[in-house]
Amino acid sequence: MKLRILIALAAAVSAAACAGGGGGGYGGYGYYSLIQPGPERVARGMTVAPTIRWNRAQRTYNDISREENWTLNGPLLDNLSFIGGLESGKAIVRGQRRQERQVPRFRAEMSPPELASMLETFYRVRSGSVEFAMTGLVPRTFLGHPGFQFDYTHLDGDEVERQGRAVGAIIDNRLYMALLDGTRTHYFPTALPEFERIVDSAELSH
């Protein structure tokens, strides 16, 4: 996740390979650096405190400036994305000009259902997801502010069943969000408790 799902990957590589020996690579998606447990500034706008080791993805051209992506076992298996203060009027993805259907730009006045719809369009347009279904949308405090929790399932472009949870809030007209996406079997449910700890630990940073 990135806030896009990394597809067309030849194989998922283990987390040890990501971090060992200065960082391994996943196909053409760059290298990974090890994140140790403890406070970590992410996505230029938040500080979180993981309790286990993660692997931070190297930034790519497709990343927006306020995005950061982590994984435990490889991006096809689990992916944790952070959006750290996206400005109103900006897109959560880059390079949409050639898309027949574009992902709506974030607007500060968006309601939680509109934000959920924006994410759904993102997955359908950029990741080839089909059979996307929202399974829950509830209020939730994030970063000490009123926010939302959006739960969903989808079938990705490789026909793998996936599950996701996004937790976020609009603060001072900027979007802050943490999003976990992974295979519905094993990897998403296994990573979810750690995701919840990370969400609960999140604080604003400037």
Counting the structural domains of the chain, the total is 1
Whether 153 is covered by a domain: the verdict is yes
Domain of 195 in residue numbering reads as 15-204
Predicted confidence (pLDDT) at residue 61 exceeds the cutoff of 70? no
- pLDDT tens sequence across 64-94: 889 999 999 998 899 999 999 999 999 887 7
Whether 63 is covered by a domain: the verdict is yes
CA end-to-end span of the chain: 24
Whether 116 is covered by a domain: the verdict is yes
- pLDDT tens sequence across 182-194: 999 999 999 999 9
Whether 3 is covered by a domain: the verdict is no
Whether 23 is covered by a domain: the verdict is yes
Angle at 202 between CA 36 and CA 85, to 5 degrees: 110
Whether 8 is covered by a domain: the verdict is no
55: CATH? 3.40.1000.10
DSSP 127-171: H--EEEEEEEEEEEEETTEEEEEEEEEEE-TT--EEEEEEEEEEE
Top-confidence residue, 4 or 64: 64
Whether 2 is covered by a domain: the verdict is no
Whether 6 is covered by a domain: the verdict is no
Nearest to 182 by CA among 170, 193, 173, 174: 193
Name the residue with tokens 């939730």.
140
